[in-house]
Amino acid sequence: MKKTVLDYALKIRLPITVFVILAAFVLTYYAARPERDGIGYTPEQPIDFSHKLHAGDMQIDCKYCHTGADQSRHAMVPPASTCMNCHSVAKKDSKEIMKLAEYFNKKHSIPWKRIHKVPDYAYFNHSVHVNKGIECESCHADVSKMEKVGQMESFTMGSCLNCHRAPEDHMPYLKGKIGKGPENCFACHR
């Protein structure tokens, strides 16, 4: 049987084209799915610390531990000494607290796994946002309900700009209290 041009197109050209298009979609989807951005990332921490217990049930203010939140660019993960303010007395015999006490007494730092990260080339500042009245959960989701903290919101430039452009849509509790955020490059990149 003589091969026609049509045969060639149907048997070879078409499958290849379809495959390439599909592969492109699959790859793009795979690369762009929310987990790639870190959403859902909930690592095991060196100490099984529960935000739900501390921030939720016991109602400890975020800024009791994250003291930099309204002061500085970093919210700051607290030093072991802050934990020991209570745990030198409270629940001393729990397994996790014994781990903590060991870190503290050996003067070692606790290597917490990082969950939320803005890339190095973006200069995010906690204090400006917190001092404008933005609640922590607007970016970090409701940590007080999380036994184990994970990333729930997107940390892309797009998600930053969404809020900067229309803050009231994303944070209705600030209606009338907040203006638009800066959109110029230097606001974050320098």
Partner 1 sequence: MDNANNTGSDKSKLFWRSIGDYNNNPKYIELKQHEFPDGVSETIDIKSMSPLSRRKFIALLSATAAFAATGCKDYPDKGEIVPYNNQPEEITLGKANYYASTYSDGSGILIKTREGRPVKVDGNPDHPVNSGHISAASQAGILNLYDPERLREPAIVKNGKLIKESWNNIDSEIIKALESATDKGKEIAIVTNSIKSPSLSRLLKDFIEKYPVAKAYTYDLFNSDNKDKAWELSYGSGKFPGVSIDKANVILALESDFLHSDENAIGNMKMFSRRRDVDSPTEFSRLYCVEGPMSLTGANADYRFRLSPEYQLEFVLSLLNETLFKGRSNLLLGFQVEGLLTKYSLKAFSEKHDIPLNKLKGLVNDLVKNVASSIVIAGDSLPVEVHIAVNLLNEALGNTKLYMNDSLPVVHFENEPGSDIGNLVRKMNAGNIEILIHLDSNPVYHLPLDYGYSGALSKVPFVVSLTSSENESSELSKYILSINHDFESWGDFQLRNSYLSVQQPVIAPLYNTRQKEAVLLNWINGNKNYSEDIYHKYLMNRWQNEVFPQFNSAVSFKKFWLSAVHDGVINLKTMPLDIPKFEESALDNLNKNYNKSGFTLVLMKSASIGDGKYSNNGWLQELPHPVSKVVWDNYAAIAPATAKELKLSNDDMIEVESSGKKLELPVLIQPGMAEKLIAVELGYGRTKAGTIGTGTGFNAGLLMTKSSGISNWIYTGATVKITGNKHQLVSTQEHHALDDEFVKEIHLKRDLVKEGTVEDFIKHPEFLKEHGHDFLYDENHEVNSITENREYTGVKWGMAFDLNKCTGCGACIAACNVENNIPVVGKEQCSNGREMHWIRLDRYYSGTPENPVVSNQHQLCQHCDNAPCENVCPVVATTHSDDGLNQMAYNRCVGTRYCANNCPYKVRRFNFFDFRENLEDGYFQQDSLQLLHNPEVTVRSRGVMEKCTFCIQRIMEAREEATKDGRKLKGSDVETACQQACPAEAIVFGDLNDKDSKVSRLRDHKLGYHVLELLNVRPNITYIAKLRNTHSEEI
Task: Pick the stretch among 49-57, 121-129, 136-144, 161-169 that binds partner 1 (CB under 8 A).
Answer: 121-129
Among 104, 139, 152, 163, which residue sits at the site for partner 1 (rule: CB under 8 A)? 104
Among 2, 5, 107, 158, binds partner 1 (CB under 8 A): 107
Give the residue from 181, 74, 161, 180 showing the smallest Cα distance to 123: 74
Strand, coil or helix: 173: helix
> CA distances (Å), 84 to each of 29, 46, 91, 98, in order?
46, 16, 11, 11
| Rounded least distance, CB 139 to partner 1, Å | 15
Residues 6+ away with beta carbon under 8 Å from 133: 174, 177, 178
Q: What is the DSSP letter of 175?
A: T
Residue 43 binds partner 1, judged by CB under 8 A: yes
Instruction: Decide if residue 64 touches partner 1 (CB under 8 A).
Output: no
Is residue 182 within the footprint of partner 1 (CB under 8 A)? yes
d(CA 150, CA 42): 4
Contact flag: residue 78 with partner 1 (CB under 8 A): yes
Does the protein bind partner 1 through residue 94 (CB under 8 A)? no
C-alpha span between 27 and 34 (Å, rounded): 14
Contact between 17 and partner 1 per CB under 8 A: no
Judged by CB under 8 A, the number of residues near partner 1 is: 47
Amino acid at 11: K
Number of C-beta neighbours around residue 149 at 10 A: 21
Binding site for partner 1 (CB under 8 A): 30, 35-36, 38, 41, 43, 67-68, 70-74, 76-82, 103-104, 107-117, 121, 123, 125, 127-128, 131-132, 182, 184-187, 189-190
